[in-house]
Structure 1
């Protein structure tokens, strides 16, 4: 059975004082039957690694493909690992859109994550125009073919389906839409890789999403910033 993951993405939010929320999340998920990961801004990873956590793992949100070099403002997978990260997000649609990252870029970042011993949380997703044109599955499969390197396993990669039109919009894909995509992903990627859904996941809709056969957890944005919002999502996953 695939591992269940409740993963949070803080995006460009949070100062050191906000790490108390990670500790509160840690307390809230201590006895749950799922792995909890919080992907923090790079400035917070080292500070979080020094906190007395028992359960929550820490991740980064991006890594440059190179281990070092003349790349002003970037951060390598090795730097993230040294700071205390065990996971890193690759291919998030906000990176693909805001920074023009291509499938080839995402593939190289994912390989860099593996090189540094990090688990990659690789994101794919279609735009609203692509969905309305009936292109969802072809777009997603193309992204996987271009972004997922050879050698991907359940131990080094988690796949997150995040429809671009549902991220931070309050819109959530219907259960039928999520099931169609996740069933296709399972057929393509095999029985062991964890498949997460992301896109305006909240406590109110989590149980319905986690009841779907091939949904192994969630990549949560805004609702991961506060323990009071995130812990109920993790509990819903644990109970699914």
Structure 2
């Protein structure tokens, strides 16, 4: 595949994030969680390039967790070929969201996310991976920040690096400086095939609502989304409140 100006720009932002947060170190084994969507596929391609550039001082693998959706087979077949084309070893895991939902009466998005993450930890243990990479980009950080603000009453987004099990594993999000619009543009330019997850809950989730809210904000102010992201590192704690001594709400 040729490398466009957009791809090279994204790769530079990826390298900056990895450097800022010390995401990947020599000797690490990085496992990329693939979904068939644009973000995780672009992350794999970006990390595959980094691996070549850094003279293979870290290992790179990829995994797709089948959740029992109708198009899992088609997605898996493509991701296997895509991973191999990028010189990355591919794994797949089979789960059933339907069975999990029948056993636990909890919100489906939570159950799906938890199931996928636990499956990734299990595979990481099996193959000796110590880093799990997700394709969350800048827009995802903005959305998560607003979701926590509106629905949880807290000022928090996602951690760029999140250690688990006393540091045995760490989850990283190397695309945190990359705009979703850049990913979309490069996907169209590169011809990478992307898939809808087939999830019946994706279009009615809290995240989908927040996404539409942000779209409305941007219609009124083009830099609104950029300013929300900037607020995540342009913090001024002295201008926030301390926790009340008694319940006031």
Superposition TM-score tier, normalisation by shorter sequence: 0.3 to 0.5
Q: Please identify the structure whose Cα radius of gyration is greater.
A: 2
Q: Going by fraction, where is helix more abundant, 1 or 2?
A: 2
TM-score by length of 1: 0.33
